[in-house]
Amino acid sequence: MSPEPMLAIEEAERILDAFPVLASSETKPLSAAQNRFLARDIVSPGDVPEFDKSAMDGYACISGDDSPSYRVIETIAAGTPPSQTITPGLCARIMTGAMLPRGADRVVMRECTEEADGVMRIIRGDPRHNIRRRGEDLRAGQAVMARGDRLVAARIAMLASLGFAEVPTARQPRVAIITTGSELVPPGAPLGPGQIYDSNSHSLVAQLRDCGCEPIVLGEVADHAETTALAIASGLKQGDALILSGGVSAGDFDYVPEAMKRAGCTLHFQKIAVQPGMPTVFASRGEQAVFGLPGNPVSTFVIFEVFIKPLLLRWLGHAYRPLVLPALLEAGYRRRRSERTLFLPAFYREGKAEILAYHGSAHLHALSRANALLRVPAGQESIPAGSMVNVRFL
Ligand code: AMP
Ligand code: MG
C-alpha cells in the first residue's frame, strides 16, 4: 500500500473551497430567524426616518424666530400627527419621535425652556436643531444587508424596524455525525474497563449549531468495517453532509476510509500537513461532503474549526473570515519538528497571547480554557519571546 500524499494546508483548503455547494432558501418568521443567514440582499422599503421627527422632548418652532416668548398651540405626542402650522411667535410642545409640525424647523430641548400659562420662553441657548430628517438614515431602495449576513440581534432589530415580519434565510444544512470507536460510551452510561466517554459527538453538535447547521447524531459505532459502511450509508440518507470521527489513522481497527469507499464515496485527500489532525479524510458522494476526522478530541475540534466550518458557512452563503488579531507573545515557543502547520490552544487578553500548557491532541482541558488558536506555519521551528503573533479567535 502506497503512503497517502500529505497535502499542504493551503492545498487542502483549495480542494475544499472548490467543492460545489447547493444553497437553497426558506422563508422564516423574524422571531425564528436568529443566527440564520440571509438568503438575499435586503433594501430599505422606505425612507428612514419615515418623516421629519423630533429627536427630543421640547418645543417645535422656527429657527430664525427670536421672539421673546412663544405661544404653545398644541401638544404633539409620538404617533399622533400635528394639526396646526407653526408661524413666528408660536410653538408646539413636542415629544421624542413625534412628527414635526408644518412650518417648524427646530426643536428646543425642554431643559432649555420654561413654560407658564401656555407661553414658552427659551432660558438657555440650544444650538442643535434636534430633528431627525426624513431619510437621513436610509433612503427607499438603499442597500441595508447582504446575502450571507448573519441575523444577529441588531440586524433582527433593523429588519423589524423596516417592517419585515419574515425573512428569506439560507436553509440549514443537515449534517450527520458518526463517532467510531469500540471504546466509546455516551455520557451518562457507566464506563467499563478501557472505555471512555464520547465527547466528539457533543463537540461536533455544538460546533455545527454554532455555525448555523442542523446536527443529526447517529451515535457511536464499533470499529468494524461492515458496520461502519452501513452507518455511513445511513448518514448519507439523512444528511446533506456527514462527519465521522475516529478510525482514520493507521491502526489495526481503523476502517473509516475503506468503509467510505464501500459506501460509494470518492476520496479526495487523506492526509494534511497539519497538527493536530494529520490523517483527515475528505470524501464525497455526489453532492454530499463526507469528512473523516481523527478521533482525538482536539484534532476533531480543530479540523472542524479550520476546514469544515468555512465550507458549511459557504453553503449558507457566508464567506467566513475568522477573526485574527495581533498579540504580543511574552513567552517564546519552540518545537522539534516543523513540517506541519501547528495550531496551539492559546489565551488572548488585552493584546497579549499565552500558549496554554498543552500535552497534545487528547488534551481537551487545554482547549476548554482557550479562546483562540495560535497558528505556527509549516517550516517554522520557534517563536522568540516577545514576538508579535496573530491569534485566531474561536
Ligand atoms: P482514533 O482516531 O480512532 O485512532 O482515536 C484516537 C484517540 O481518540 C483514541 O484515544 C480514542 O479513544 C479517542 N477518541 C476517538 N473517538 C473519540 C470520541 N468520539 N470522543 C472522545 N475520544 C475519542
Ligand atoms: Mg478509534
This prediction has a pTM of 0.93
Q: Which pLDDT score is estimated for 3? A: 75
Which atom of ligand 1 is closest in space to residue 248's alpha carbon? Answer: 2
Collect all residues with Cβ–Cβ distance below 8 Å to 336 and sequence separation of at least 6.
Answer: 381
Q: Probe ligand 1: pick from 177, 244, 296, 367, max atoms within 8 Å of CB?
A: 296
Q: What is the Cβ-side half-sphere exposure of residue 353, based on CA atoms within 13 angstroms?
A: 28
Provide the β-strand partners of residue 25: 170
- b (16+ CB within 10 A) / e for 294-305: bbbbbbbbbbbb
Residue 215 in contact with ligand 1 by CB distance below 6 A = no
pLDDT averages per 10-residue partition of the chain, 394 residues? 83 98 95 97 98 98 97 98 98 98 98 98 96 98 98 98 98 98 98 98 98 97 95 97 96 95 96 98 98 98 98 97 97 96 98 97 98 97 97 98
What's the pLDDT score for residue 254?
A: 94
- Residue 245 Cβ < 6 Å to ligand 1: yes
The pLDDT assigned to 4 comes to 84
Q: What is the rounded CA–CA span in Å between residue 289 and residue 17? A: 12
**CB count in 10 Å sphere of residue 119:** 13
Tell me, what's the pLDDT at 22? 86
Q: Which ligand is nearest to the CA of 223?
A: 2
Q: Is the CB of 219 under 6 A from ligand 1?
A: no
CB-count exposure of residue 103 (10 Å: 0-12, 13-18, 19+): middle
- The DSSP code sequence of 124-145 is S---S--EE-TTSSB-TT-EEE
Pocket of ligand 1, candidates 184, 217, 244, 291: which has the most ligand atoms within 8 Å of its Cβ, to mutate?
A: 184
Q: What is the DSSP string of 156-177?
A: HHHHHHTT-SEEEEEPPPEEEE
Give me 156's grid cell: 433582527
- Ligand 2 centroid to Cα of residue 254, in Å, is 6
pLDDT, residue 7, reads 98
- Centre of ligand 2 from the C-alpha of residue 384, in Å: 37
CA of 21 from ligand 2 middle (Å) equals 30
294 CB within 6 A, ligand 1: yes
277 lines ligand 1 (CB under 6 A): no
Convert 182-195 to b/e letters by CB count within 10 Å (16 or more is b). Answer: ebbeeeeeeeeeee
- How many Å lie between the centroid of ligand 1 and the Cα of residue 197? 9
Ligand nearest to the CA of 293: 1
**Cα–chain center distance at 108:** 43
pLDDT of residue 2: 53
Domains of the chain: 9-24+172-315 (3.40.980.10), 26-46+138-170 (3.90.105.10), 53-132 (2.170.190.11), 324-393 (2.40.340.10)
pLDDT of residue 201: 98
Instruction: Provide DSSP, 186-254.
Output: -TTSPP-TT-EE--HHHHHHHHHHHTT-EEEEEEEE-S-HHHHHHHHHHHHHH-SEEEEES--SSSTT-
Q: Which ligand is nearest to the CA of 362?
A: 1
Looking at the CA of residue 199, tell me the nearest atom of ligand 1.
20
Ligand 1 centre distance from Cα of residue 320 (Å)? 28
Ligand found nearest the CA of 198 = 1
Measured from the Cα of 223, ligand 1's closest atom is 3
Encode pLDDT of 324-374 as tens digits.
Answer: 999 999 999 999 999 999 999 999 999 999 999 999 999 999 999 999 999
User: Closest by alpha carbon to 244, among 305, 184, 178, 174?
Assistant: 178
CA nearest ligand 1 atom 17, residue? 295
324 lines ligand 1 (CB under 6 A): no
How far is Cα 85 from Cα 99, in angstroms, rounded to an integer? 12
For residue range 216-227, what is the model confidence (pLDDT) as tens digits?
999 999 999 999
Cα(286) to ligand 2 centroid in Å equals 27
Distance CA 354, CA 13 (A): 27
Task: Identify the residue whose cell numbers are 458549511.
Answer: 312
- Name the pairing type of β-strands 352-355 and 341-349: antiparallel
Contact indicator for 373, 388 with CB cutoff of 8 Å: no
* CA 17 – ligand 2 centroid, Å: 28
**Alpha-carbon 53 to chain mean position:** 35
249 lines ligand 1 (CB under 6 A): yes
